[in-house]
């Protein structure tokens, strides 16, 4: 079972380390972290990850997964990566994502006509690429599986594991990892957080990339022209 995560500068590390921890427990699993080179890739948490494969070395996967992160817009604009994703995704059994990774998949034309989810702050952009946005933590649509923001990647990993290897195997892995979440605050979604918290975080997100909206819309327009 070959699992491949695309990693890139300013990727959110938990977007891929969370599901990787789970999916590495699939029977006969082999996990690769792919990038253009094997040089260290800096995550948005301030530490680097060493790729185990280059994009040129990966042409298909049993599970292809694209995580999100601050650098996702840069990746959506990178024609080399988009072309690699389109080709590799077409040859892969499962095409998946976590958080804003679904926007990267969408930019590669891999979510057109599919139901999908994303981080709540970026969710509505999916429709620009012909995907159907669904506000769920994990969304399955045929061979496409998308997870919501960051921590949803762990739930995504278990849901996909249960589909592939059976619920009993997934339950066993869950016990082994002691995945028994009990957050100290019930503030993990916009409809649960206070309006003040949502407004404060939205302002923070806006400050991370003032041109984000225009750049994503430009990628969406280009993808329509080349479809």
Run of H or E including 163? helix 152-165
Residues with a catalytic annotation lie at: 99
For residue 99, give the nearest of 121, 125, 71, 118 by alpha carbon: 118
User: Which letter, b or e, does each residue of 23-52 get, where b requires 16 or more Cβ atoms within 10 Å of its Cβ?
Assistant: bebbeebebbbbbeeeeebbbbeeeebebb
pLDDT number for residue 10: 97
User: For the chain, which residues score pLDDT lower than 50?
Assistant: none
pLDDT number for residue 224: 79
CA pair distance 227, 222, nearest whole angstrom:
9
DSSP state of 149: S
For residue 129, give the nearest of 145, 143, 146, 108 by alpha carbon: 108
- 152-165 helix and 13-23 helix, angle to the nearest 10 degrees: 30
For residue 111, give the nearest of 132, 93, 92, 125 by alpha carbon: 132
- Classified as helix, coil or strand, 95 is strand
Phi, psi of 46 (to 5 degrees): 95, 0
For residue 158, give the nearest of 174, 146, 143 by alpha carbon: 174
Residues in the chain: 227
């Amino acid at each position: 079972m070959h699992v491949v995560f695309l990693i890139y500068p300013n990727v959110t590390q938990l977007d891929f380390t969370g599901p990787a921890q789970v999916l590495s427990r699939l029977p006969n699993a082999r996990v690769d972290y792919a990038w253009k080179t094997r040089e260290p890739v800096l995550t948005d948490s301030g530490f680097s990850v060493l790729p185990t494969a280059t994009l040129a070395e990966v042409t298909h996967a049993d599970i292809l997964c694209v995580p999100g992160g601050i650098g996702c817009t840069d990746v959506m604009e990178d024609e080399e990566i988009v072309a690699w994703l389109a080709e590799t995704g077409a040859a892969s059994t499962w095409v998946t994502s976590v958080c804003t990774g679904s926007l990267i998949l969408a930019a590669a034309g891999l979510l057109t006509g599919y139901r999908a989810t994303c981080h709540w702050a970026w969710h509505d952009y999916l429709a620009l690429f012909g995907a159907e946005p669904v506000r769920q933590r994990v969304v399955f649509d045929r061979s496409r599986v998308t997870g919501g923001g960051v921590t949803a990647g762990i739930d995504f990993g278990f849901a996909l594991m249960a589909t592939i290897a059976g619920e009993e195997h997934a339950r066993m892995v869950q016990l082994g990892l002691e995945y028994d979440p009990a957050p100290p605050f019930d503030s993990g979604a916009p409809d649960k957080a206070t309006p003040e918290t949502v407004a404060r975080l939205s302002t923070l997100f806006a400050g991370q990339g003032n041109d984000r909206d225009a750049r994503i819309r430009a990628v969406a327009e280009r993808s329509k022209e080349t479809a």
